[in-house]
Structure 1
Amino acid sequence: MQKIKPCLWFDGRALEAAEFYVSVFGGDSRVVDVTYNTGAAPGETGAVLTVDFVLAGQEYTALNGGPEFTFSEAVSLSVDCESQEEVDRFWAAFTEDGEESVCGWLKDRYGLSWQIVPRVLPELLSGPDRARADRVMKAMTGMRKLDVAALENA
């Protein structure tokens, strides 16, 4: 069991969201456990209360907490992508019924913010060649979905 496990607050769609995320990540991703409201907590007795799930080896809990709180861009999940193909796959999955933003950020259909980041980006932004890093940053700020070739050519 990992020491820190993010808990994501949903309004009645925790199981749906967890199953969607598991389908997008595949591999070492799965729904682990579902708990149901016994009537002791607010909400409908028998409704899904929490969902424990794993995405790419990282544990999460999804909570059906109600409409009081929603996601904001202040917290996002960053996905390390090995290739442009992986960037494209995650981008397509998460923007379906979601919302594109800039610089590789998006909101999925549940309002959760994600950063879809090619692995090469941190390398391009660091290192001794500051002029190159500035060109890469300028190129990135003009993009929605990040384009690996365009970043490397900057």
Structure 2
Amino acid sequence: MENKELMMQENTQEEKGITVQTEHGLGFFDAGQPSRMWASFDTTSEEGQVKAYNAVSDTTYVIADLAGSGQVIEVVDFMMHDITRLNEETGEMEPVVRVVLIDSNGDSYSATGTGVVNSLKSLTQIKGMPSAEKPFRVTPVYKPTRNNGHKTVILRLA
């Protein structure tokens, strides 16, 4: 399997409601604000579009809640998309990437922050994209950062 660089595509059109399909990435515009959405699976079919929508709009689990539990997730697909969240330290809204993992049972797991994003970048560079035949068997764990004793969640291969 050919390794692909994991990148999200950005739409540069100025019209509202335009969707651009680039490989498996979807670029959306809402009220003139660009956001990015990327999927490891084909989103050109109705089935793929339903899967993408359900993954980002109704996740089953929060990855941070599972960190340290030892639970293994068999990731067959994943998505990344831009969101805005409140920074609890500064009180300001900040852009972040939200990751949604999809397992072999169709359950989804969401996370924001760089730990899971960086884990997926490394995994895809080393192993290629996950699939039903070759899922990523991962366990979410906390890892200390160099930032005032903060912790981040990463994915460890199980």
- Structure having greater relative contact order (Cα 8 Å, sep ≥ 6): 2
Normalising TM by the smaller chain, what interval? under 0.3
Which structure carries more helix by proportion?
A: 1
**TM-score when scaled to structure 2?**
0.24
Which structure carries more strand by proportion?
A: 2
Structure index of larger Rg: 1
**TM-score when scaled to structure 1?**
0.25
